[in-house]
Chains A and B, each alone.
Chain A
C-alpha cells in the first residue's frame, strides 16, 4: 500500500513554510552547531573552490509525491521556470566557463520548455545532466524522452531508492518500482548504462528510513548484482544520497519521532573530509524564478546566497559568486555525515 501523501503545500501545513522547517531544526538540542564543526575543521566560513556546475531547478511540478521529497514537489505545484528565466541562465552560462548544467525539479521534464533548454545548453557546448525520476519516461507525452536524451548526449541521473520493489514503492508510491525498471530497460536499449560516452546512466539511491548509507561502493555492488540478475538492467554508477531533513522528509521524521535521533546521528557523524567536498563548493543553484542559492537544499529553505553576492541569475557574476561565503545551518549536517552526500553521491 502506498505511503505517499499529497504535498505539504496542498495540505496547508505550517511545515510547508521554509521558516517553520528551519525553526523545527533549530528547536532540537544538538551538542554542537554546524558552523562550530566547520570552524573546528578549519573550513569556516565555507567558500566555493571553483564553480563548475550550474544546477537549475526548473520547477516544483512532479508526477510523483515521494515521501522523502525535499522539494515538496507534486502535481499540484505551480512553480515553473519561464523560458525568459531559462534564457537568463543561458546568458549566464555563455559568459562563464561552467562546464555542466544539472537540470532538476520536481520532474524537470514536465517544464514545457525543458527540451528547448537542453538543446540550447548543448549548443553552448556544455554537459547536461537530467535528474530524472524514471516514471515520467513512461507517461504518454514523455515516452520519446530517452531518444531525445540520446540524441543530445544527456547524462541521465535517476532515482531508485532500492533494488527491492517494496522498499522503493513505500517511499515513492505504488507501482513506481516496476515502472522505473521498464524505463531503465528502455534507456539500456539505447546504450545507456554500458559505459559508452554520451550515454551515461547514474542511479541515485537513498535510504528508505531514518538512517544513512555507510558504504557507497558496497551499495553499488549490491545494486549491480540485484538489478542485473533480476532484470538484466545495467548502469554506470550509483550515488548514495542522505535524505535531507527538509520538507516532506522532515514531516516524516517528526511524525515517526525519528527527528532528534536522526539529526544527532548526522551531527555525530560529521566528517571534515565530507564537508570539504560539499557540493555547494563547486555548484551554484538557480531557482524556478531565477533566484540564486548555494544549493537546492538552501533553495527549499529560502536561504538565498549571501548578501553582497549577485542574488538573481540576471546579475550572474562568476567571480563575485566564487568569492561568496556559503550560507549554512543545521540541515547541512546531512551533507557532511560519514562518507558525505551530494548530488554526485559520496564526497569523502
Chain B
C-alpha cells in the first residue's frame, strides 16, 4: 500500500499551487517574508521552524528544517536541545491544561 507520507513528496509540494494560484501566491509570499532575517536571525528562525515542525509532527517540515539546520552547521546536538525545549514546553502545556480540571474541582468539589 502506498504510504501517506513519502520523502519524495516534498519535491512536489509546489504542485498544490495549481488548485488556487492566488491564495498559494499570497501564502508563499507571507511564508517567505516571515522567514527572512529581521530582528531574529536566520539561525533563530530555522530553530523556530524546527520546533513548530516537531510540535505539529510534520515529517516534511522536520526533514526540511533538519536539512536547513545542517546547512548552517547545526548538528543533532543542537537539534536535540531544541527537541527537549519543545518537548518540555509541551509537557508544561499539558500540565497547565490540568488547571482547567483544578478550577472545575475548586468550583464543584467539596
User: Do residues B72 and A213 form an inter-chain contact, with CB atoms below 8 A?
Assistant: yes
In the complex, the answer to whether A213 meets B73 with C-beta atoms within 8 Å is: yes
Contact indicator A214/B72 (Cβ below 8 Å): yes
B49-98 with Cβ < 8 A to chain A: 67-68, 70-73, 75, 77
Among B42, B71, B73, B77: residue with most chain A CB under 10 A: B73
| B43 interface contact, C-beta 8 A | yes
Residues of B near A211 (CB, < 8 A) are: 67, 70-71
Report the bound CA distance from A164 to B73 in whole Å. Answer: 10
Chain B residues with Cβ below 8 Å from A131 are none
Write the A159-186 contact mask toward B (1 if CB under 8 angstroms, else 0).
0001010110000000000000000000
A123 within 8 A of B: no
Q: Give Cα A211–Cα B41 distance, bound, in whole angstroms.
A: 21
Partner of A213, one of B41, B43, B71, B75: B71
Across-interface contacts of B77 in A (CB, < 8 A): 164, 166
Q: Chain B nearest CB: distance from A209 CB in Å? A: 7
Q: Assess whether A44 is interfacial by the CB under 8 Å rule.
A: no
CB-contacts of A194-228 with B (<8 A): 205, 207-209, 211-215, 218-219, 222-223
Asked whether B75 lies within 8 Å of A219 as measured between CB atoms, the reply is: no
Q: Which residues of the other chain, B, contact A215 by a CB distance below 8 angstroms?
A: 42, 71-72
Contact between chains at B73 and A209 (CB < 8 Å): no
Residue of A nearest to B71 (CB): A214
Residue of A nearest to B78 (CB): A164
- Asked if residues B71 and A205 are in contact (CB atoms below 8 Å), the reply is no
Are B70's CB and A209's CB within 8 A? Answer: yes
Contact A218 B75 (CB under 8 A): no
- Which B residues lie within 8 Å of A207 (CB)? 70
Q: Say whether B43 contacts A218, CB under 8 Å.
A: yes
| Residue numbers in A under 8 Å from B71 (CB-CB) | 211-215
Q: Which A residues lie within 8 Å of B43 (CB)?
A: 218, 222
CB distance from B76 to the nearest CB of A (A): 9
Q: How far is the CA of A223 from the CA of B74 in the complex (A)?
A: 11
Q: Which residues of A contact B75 (CB under 8 A)?
A: 162, 164, 167, 208
Q: What residues of B have a CB within 8 angstroms of the CB of A223 in the complex?
A: 73
Give Cα distance in the complex from A219 to B41, angstroms: 13
In the assembled complex, how far is the CB of residue B60 from the closest CB belonging to chain A, in whole angstroms? 16
CA distance A215 to B43 in the complex (A): 10
**Chain B contacts of A205 at CB under 8 A?**
73
A167: chain B residues at CB < 8 Å are 75
| Complex: chain A residue closest to B68, CB-CB | A214
Restricting to B28-45, which residues have a CB under 8 Å from any CB of A?
41-43
A162 CB contact (under 8 Å) in B41, B72, B73:
B73
Q: How far is the CA of A212 from the CA of B71 in the complex (A)?
A: 6
Give the chain A neighbours of B68 by CB distance below 8 A: 214
In the complex, which residue of chain A has the Cβ closest to the Cβ of B73? A219
Given contacts A164-B77, A166-B77, A215-B42, contact A222 B70 (CB under 8 A): no
Which residue of the partner chain, among A164, A208, A209, A218, contacts B72 with CB atoms under 8 Å? Answer: A218
> Nearest Cβ distance between residue A205 and chain B, in whole angstroms?
7
Task: Offer 14 A-B interface pairs, CB within 8 angstroms, sorted by A.
Answer: A164-B77, A166-B77, A205-B73, A211-B67, A211-B70, A213-B73, A215-B42, A215-B72, A218-B41, A218-B42, A218-B43, A218-B72, A219-B72, A219-B73
Other A-B contacts than A162-B75, A222-B73, 6 sampled, CB-CB below 8 A, are: A211-B71, A214-B71, A215-B42, A219-B72, A219-B73, A223-B73
Q: 3 shortest A-B CB distances, which residue pairs?
A: A214-B71, A211-B70, A219-B73
